Chains A and B, each alone.
Chain A
């Protein structure tokens, strides 16, 4: 029976591997789903003295909630949903560690006083770590959820005071952890576990709070790695090789993915975590900072498009918010029927998650060969007649080319090299990085102030009338 766990692990390994190529990704997820099913069935068959009431109630309730969330969440809200789900997974691991300690009979036997440390160094280290990481994942994910939904949450402390504050919280957590693993009194053990959970939860809130909204994808990915690690440590506590292996694997894979995402932004992970860019405190610029904005309506854009033979669309989060993926495709098809070369330039961190734009455009069946990655298309902007920026800002901000500044060095799409740049944006408000975009002031830039969907619909109408 235990070999079912091995089977489940293998299914996860091949599942993850297959998730990394477009051709096999659906199959990969199937394999991993099957692995989960095998693992759950195996756990139900193998565990002795199972409390069926609790398990069935929990599975029905949790399954129902999960089903509801996954079905009801609109595509734009998916990054938030992944963050929330990840938080639930993290806290579940913390609870597994706590529950497992509470059930350990040798710890509650009044005749023979025993501490967790007395049981061995491994549970003494793994139990507090599982609780700490699990709780940090929970609250950190929910702060990330809030920031992804556009809420501004500012850290009460700045600069050195912030680091000192975090250090105090962390030292407090370590002190409680030491007390927790050395106490031989069951009541004190319970109290210590509750205290550690609470303090870790607070720590999670403050660790994510100073990080800017634009960096939330990286944070979610990192927390995703954490929840794997929490699972692995819960595995040490409960003595499950399956949890250890799968948790460690997912934790490591999540870390690599986080690294890949940081690289795409030309930043280091520590730079992201210290809140280097896009902190919500950043001073927001407004319309007064722009001097030579040229505004245009759909009909003027249609006239520009009439003379164009190559167009590149640059989608950003605004496309997702406006749910404009279908109408952008409509405009693209219209242009293609007029013998215009149409491509989409996908910045690796456009949107709120890496690959966000790809998922969105795939939904409206935009052909794969029209989606171009940043490195492949950047040299082509200078030969392009019109670049249409749909709700993107920071990823096309030429300020990144300056040697200094909040986004210095971040790779951007060189849209300003195109003959004409059309920017569809609701207002002149800054992007997530909270800084001015000099692109809007350029002579060859036309601003269309509207919701992406309405603006594109207008352009479709006008192009049809040409």
Chain B
């Protein structure tokens, strides 16, 4: 089996998994879930790290820097905002 076939294979299975993961969500959690999955889409940071190789042209280095920065904004901002939203629920749970 070649590499590309395997990649397409896991892409399809992962998409099906994503469809199945979200079935019933209480409306309360729509926004946090959206925000939380937005933070996860910052996973592209891993691609950005892989793309930032040494010995690149200046253009490639600039692009790599932008990719890492922007993905990092998504990751840090996304998780912190989600935490802020969920924080209000947690406070109540403790009472």
A interface list, Cβ under 8 A from B: 12-13, 15-17, 19-23, 25-26, 28-29, 32-33, 35-36, 39-40, 42-44, 47, 49-51, 54-55, 57-59, 61-63, 65-67, 69-71, 73, 78-79, 81-82, 85-86, 88-93, 95-96, 98-100, 102-103, 120-122, 190, 220-221, 224, 227-228, 230-232, 234-236, 238-257, 260-261, 264, 346, 348, 353-356, 358-359, 362-363, 365, 367-368, 371, 373
Q: Are A354 and B30 in contact (CB under 8 A)?
A: yes
Contacting residue for A88 out of B21, B33, B74, B91, CB 8 A: B74
Q: Which chain A residues lie closer than 8 Å to B47 at the CB level? A: 93, 96, 100, 231, 234-235, 238, 240, 243
With A20-B25, A252-B18 as contacts: A98 and B63 at CB distance below 8 Å: yes
| Interface pairs A-B: 8 shortest CB-CB | A62-B72, A252-B18, A58-B68, A66-B76, A70-B80, A66-B77, A89-B74, A62-B69
Q: Would A256 and B48 count as touching, CB distance under 8 A?
A: no
- Assess whether A71 is in contact with B50, with CB atoms less than 8 Å apart: no
What total of A-B pairs shows CB separation below 8 Å? 387
Q: Given the interface contacts A227-B41, A243-B47, A248-B18, does A88 sit within 8 Å of B29 by beta carbon?
A: no
Which residues on A sit within 8 Å (CB–CB) of B1? none
Name the contact of B89 in the complex, choosing from A26, A73, A373 (C-beta under 8 A).
Answer: A26
Q: Would you give the 0/1 interface string for B62-95, flagging 1 where the beta carbon is closer than 8 Å to chain A?
A: 0111111111111111111111111111111101
Q: Which of A65, A248, A250 has the most B CB atoms < 10 Å from its CB?
A: A250
Contact of A249 with B32 at beta-carbon distance under 8 Å, contacts A66-B72, A86-B38, A92-B70 already known? no
**Bound complex: CA of A249 vs CA of B43, how far in Å?**
11
Docked-complex contact A36 and B73, CB < 8 angstroms: no
CB pairs A–B below 8 angstroms (26 shown)? A13-B21, A16-B18, A16-B21, A25-B32, A25-B86, A32-B36, A42-B46, A51-B56, A57-B69, A66-B80, A79-B31, A89-B41, A92-B68, A92-B71, A95-B63, A96-B50, A103-B56, A244-B11, A247-B14, A247-B41, A250-B37, A254-B41, A257-B37, A348-B30, A354-B27, A365-B95
